[in-house]
Amino acid sequence: MNQRLRLILLWLLPIGMVVLISWQILGNSGTSSINQANTSIASRNSAVSRMSYGRFMDYINSGRVTAVDIYDGGTNAVIEAIDPELDNRVQRIRVDLPGLAPELINKLKEEGISFDIHQAKTTPPALGLIGNLIFPILLIVGLVFLARRSNSMPGGPGQAMQFGKTKARFAMEADTGVKFDDVAGVNEAKQDLEEVVTFLKQPERFTSVGAKIPRGVLLVGPPGTGKTLLAKAIAGEAGVPFFSLSGSEFVEMFVGVGASRVRDLFKRAKENSPCLIFIDEIDAVGRQRGAGIGGGNDEREQTLNQLLTEMDGFEGNSGIIIIAATNRPDVLDSALMRPGRFDRQVSVEAPDIKGRLSILEVHSRNKKLDNVLSLEDVARRTPGFTGADLANLMNEAAILTARRRKDCIGTAEIDDAVDRIIAGMEGQPLTDGRSKRLIAYHEVGHAIIGTLVKDHDPVQKVTLIPRGQAKGLTWFSPDEDQTLVSKSQLKARIMGALGGRAAEDVIFGHGEVTTGAGGDIQQVASMARQMVTKFGMSNLGPISLDNSSQEVFIGRDLMTRNDISDAIAKQIDNQVRLIVKECYKETLQIINKHKIAMDKLVDILVEKETMDGEEFRSVLSEFCSIPAS
C-alpha cells in the first residue's frame, strides 16, 4: 500500500510543478504591462510620495505643476511640482488617475503644462505564442518521463496490466553453478532427482517399457537440509528450460491475481516444454482449503484451485515437471499431495555421520585445514547438524582462524565454532569465587552422572566459560547417530540432566539450591512425559496418549476434543512424577557416593576453567571404576 501511495505521489508531484510553473508564466504575461509601467516609473522617479487626483487638480490650478508623464492609458502619472515649503524645489510625485479624460488633456494645454503620454510596451507575437505553448509542452514531457520511470519500476503504474503475469525467473539453461557432485549427505534424495533429470534427457529409456514421466516431486524436510540446493543442482544438470519462484509470489492483494499468475506460468511452461518448474516454500500457497472458521473463499484458495487444475486437470501438462519444497507438509492440502500431482515425495533429512563427513569435505575444498584436524572427528561431534549448519560451522571456523591470525583451521577453531553455533557467543569469564565454585559443582554433577551411568552418552567437554545464557556447559557426544533410543538410555539422559541439581543438593544443602537447573528440569519433564504418553514406557502400558503429534492448525484443530479423560490425565501426571522421582533418587545416591572425586574435579575445573572428556575420565578413574561404554 505504501508503494502505491508513493507511486501516486510520484505522478502528482511533477504535474503539480508543471501547473505551478505554467500558472506563474501565464500570470506574469497578464501583468506584464503593469510591471513595465511600474519599472518605468521607478526608473524615472526615486521618490515614493503619492498624491490624490483632487489634490493634483489643485496643484494645476495653483500653477505648481511643471510637467506630467502619463502611463498605462491614463491610470498612472508622475508629475513634477514646485513645493514652496521646500524652497521652491521641484519634487516628483506619483498620481493615480481615473483615466485619460479629454478634460485633463485640455486642462494641461490651457495651463501650458508640458505633458507626455507613454504607451505600454506590448509582447511580441512570437513570445506570446511560445508562452501559450509552454504549459502543454511541459505537461507532455512530464507524462512521458513518468511513463518511462513507471515502466522501469516493478509493479509501477506502467505495469498495471502486468499484475496477472507470472514473476517466475526463467532460463533456457539455468547456470546455477551447482551440480549433483556439489550436493552431499542426501544420497537417497539425490538418486531420485537424478532419475528425473534422466527422464528429461533420455525419455526413450523409460517410455520404451511403458514408464511415464512423473508430474511432480515434493521435497520435504527440516530447514537447512538442502532442498533448495537440490533444486539448483537439478537446474544445473537438466539442460532444459527452468522456471523458479517462491510460493508467496503467487499471492497479491488483488483478487484473481494469483490464479492469473498460475495460468500464465503454465502457459509459458507449455510453450517451452519439456521444462522444469521449481516452487520454493509451496506451503505459502498450498495450505489446506477451508481451514478458516466457517470455511473460506480467499485469494489463496483460488490460487490453489488453479494450481491443482493446471497440475492435473482436464487438459493435463505433459512435459512439465514440478519440483516443490516445504518444511511444513502437515499443512498442505490433501488434493495437492495425491499421486498425479506430486507423484514422488522425497524426504530430505539431516545427514548421518557419513553424510556429514561428505558435506564437510565439500565445504572444506577452498579452506586451509591443519594436518592434525580430522573431519571425521568433526562429523562425529556434530550429530543433528544439517548441511546449512555444517557450512556455517566451517565458515565460522575460518573467521576465527583469520581473527587469530593463523594460516590454517585447527581443532581449537572447530571446537569454538561448534560451541558458538550451539550455545552462543563466548562471554566474560566468571570472577566471583563463590558463584564460580557453585557452577563448577553443578557442571561436574552433570559430567559424573554422564560418565558413571552406563547408557549415557560420553562426556566431551566441561567448561565454566559462559556462552549465551548459560554460565557453564557440559557437552556430551554420542558415539553414533541414535535413531532408536531405549528406555534405559532415556532414563540415563534424565539422570544426567538431574545431575547438576543433585550436586547442589548434596554439597550445599536442600535450602541452597539455585535456579541454574531450570532448563534441565524442563528437559526432564518433557522426556518423562514422552516416555509415558508417546513411547508407552510406564506402568500404564503400551498405549499412545499423546494428542500433540501434529502442530495446531487453525480451523482443523481448534475445535478438536480431548480424547483423554481426567482420570487418565491424573495417572499420566503420577507416572511422570514417579519416573522423575526414581531417577533423582538414583542420581543422589551416585553423587553422595563420589563426593571426594567431585571435590577434586571441581578444584581442577575452577583452576583450568575447561576440561576435555579424556582428562575428566582420567581423574575420575583414580577414585572409582568407570563402566565401559
Burial of 393 (0-12, 13-18, 19+ CB in 10 A): buried
What lies within 8 Å, CB to CB, of 513 at 6+ separation is 501, 504, 505
Q: Look at the alpha carbons of 449, 455, 459, 463 in this order and tell me if their dihedral is positive or negative.
A: negative
Q: Are residues 270 and 395 located together in one domain of the fold?
A: no
pLDDT at res. 191: 83
Q: Are residues 227 and 327 located together in one domain of the fold?
A: yes
Q: Are residues 195 and 336 located together in one domain of the fold?
A: yes
Element (H, E) at 68: strand 65-71
Say how many C-beta atoms besides its own lie within 10 A of residue 524's C-beta: 23
pLDDT at res. 627: 77
CA 72 to CA 33: how far, in whole Å?
Answer: 8
Residue with cell 516628483: 92
Average the pLDDT over each of 228-232, 255-259, 468-472 and give the range with the smallest value.
255-259
CA 268 to CA 417: how far, in whole Å?
Answer: 46
Read off the pLDDT of residues 461-507 as tens digits, 9 standing for 90 and up: 898 888 877 788 888 887 666 678 889 999 999 999 999 999 999 99
- Nearest alpha-carbon partner for 217 in 236, 239, 199: 199
Q: What is the mean pLDDT of residues 600-625?
A: 89
pTM value > 0.75: no
Q: What is the mean pLDDT of residues 87-114?
A: 78
Q: What is the mean pLDDT of residues 576-591?
A: 94
Q: Determine what percent of the chain falls in helix, strand and coil, rounding each to the nearest 5.
A: 55, 10, 35
Q: Are residues 100 and 142 located together in one domain of the fold?
A: no
Please determine, for residue 42, whether its predicted confidence score (pLDDT) is greater than 80: no
Q: Are residues 155 and 177 located together in one domain of the fold?
A: no
pLDDT at res. 306: 87
pLDDT at res. 128: 65
CA 193 to CA 177: how far, in whole Å?
Answer: 17
Q: What is the DSSP string of 277-308?
A: EEEESGGGT-BPTT-STT----HHHHHHHHHH
pLDDT at res. 30: 43
Domain boundary among 319, 347, 375: 347
CA 504 to CA 433: how far, in whole Å?
Answer: 16
Top-confidence range, 231-240, 492-501, 508-517: 492-501
Average the pLDDT over each of 272-276, 322-326, 485-489, 590-594 and give the range with the smallest value.
272-276
Higher pLDDT, 172 or 614: 614
User: Which cell numbers in the block locate residue 455?
Assistant: 547408557
CA distances from 560 to 404, 429, 547, 557, 564 (A): 57, 50, 10, 5, 12
Top-confidence range, 4-18, 66-80, 213-227, 471-485: 213-227
Percent of the chain with pLDDT over 90: 19
The CATH number that applies at residue 418 is 1.10.8.60
pLDDT at res. 44: 43
Q: Are residues 40 and 157 located together in one domain of the fold?
A: no
Higher pLDDT, 559 or 617: 617
CA 97 to CA 55: how far, in whole Å?
Answer: 11
Please determine, for residue 156, whether its predicted confidence score (pLDDT) is greater than 80: no
Residue with cell 571446537: 415
User: Which cell numbers in the block locate residue 42?
Assistant: 521607478
Confidence of residue 12 (pLDDT cuts 50, 70, 90): low
CA distances from 118 to 75, 100, 115 (A): 11, 12, 10
Top-confidence range, 111-115, 378-382, 397-401, 552-556: 397-401
pLDDT at res. 40: 46
Q: What is the mean pLDDT of residues 127-133?
A: 68
pLDDT at res. 72: 74
Q: Are residues 7 and 112 located together in one domain of the fold?
A: no
What lies within 8 Å, CB to CB, of 538 at 6+ separation is 531, 532, 575, 578, 579
Pairing of strands 275-280, 473-476: unpaired
Domain boundary among 162, 187, 215: 162
pLDDT at res. 506: 92
Q: Are residues 419 and 446 located together in one domain of the fold?
A: no
CA end-to-end span of the chain, whole Å?
A: 63
Q: Are residues 173 and 297 located together in one domain of the fold?
A: yes
- Nearest alpha-carbon partner for 397 in 384, 414, 412: 414
Higher pLDDT, 176 or 604: 604
Q: Are residues 278 and 376 located together in one domain of the fold?
A: no
Give the chain's domain count.
Answer: 5
Say how many C-beta atoms besides its own lie within 10 A of residue 77's C-beta: 25
Q: What is the mean pLDDT of residues 560-585?
A: 87
Read off the pLDDT of residues 375-405 as tens digits, 9 standing for 90 and up: 988 888 888 888 899 999 999 999 999 999 9
Please determine, for residue 575, whether its predicted confidence score (pLDDT) is greater than 90: yes
Q: Is residue 545 a part of any domain in this protein?
A: yes
Please determine, for residue 124, whether its predicted confidence score (pLDDT) is greater than 70: no
Burial of 32 (0-12, 13-18, 19+ CB in 10 A): middle
Q: Are residues 201 and 157 located together in one domain of the fold?
A: no
277 close to 243: Cβ distance less than 8 angstroms: yes
Q: Is residue 627 a part of any domain in this protein?
A: no
Q: What is the mean pLDDT of residues 91-98?
A: 80
Confidence of residue 585 (pLDDT cuts 50, 70, 90): very high
Higher pLDDT, 593 or 553: 593
Q: Is residue 629 a part of any domain in this protein?
A: no
Please determine, for residue 39, whether its predicted confidence score (pLDDT) is greater than 80: no
Say how many C-beta atoms besides its own lie within 10 A of residue 554's C-beta: 11
- Nearest alpha-carbon partner for 262 in 346, 320, 212: 320
- Nearest alpha-carbon partner for 551 in 246, 288, 217, 224: 288
The CATH number that applies at residue 64 is 3.30.720.210
Q: Which residues are catalytic?
A: 443
Q: What is the mean pLDDT of residues 508-525?
A: 90
Q: Are residues 184 and 320 located together in one domain of the fold?
A: yes
User: Which cell numbers in the block locate residue 208?
Assistant: 520404451
Higher pLDDT, 474 or 562: 474
Read off the pLDDT of residues 170-204 as tens digits, 9 standing for 90 and up: 777 667 777 787 788 888 888 888 888 888 778 78
Higher pLDDT, 260 or 291: 260
CA 393 to CA 58: how far, in whole Å?
Answer: 104
Q: Look at the alpha carbons of 293, 298, 300, 305 in this order and tell me if their dihedral is positive or negative.
A: positive
Q: Is residue 508 a part of any domain in this protein?
A: yes
Q: 382 lies in which domain range?
A: 353-423
Please determine, for residue 32, whether its predicted confidence score (pLDDT) is greater than 70: no
Residues in the chain: 629
- Torsion angle of the four alpha carbons 486, 492, 497, 501, in this order, in degrees rounded to the nearest 10: 150
Q: Is residue 24 a part of any domain in this protein?
A: yes
Read off the pLDDT of residues 397-447 as tens digits, 9 standing for 90 and up: 999 999 999 999 998 899 889 888 888 777 777 777 788 899 999 999 999
Q: Is residue 315 a part of any domain in this protein?
A: yes
CA distances from 143 to 2, 11, 136, 147, 405 (A): 22, 8, 11, 6, 59
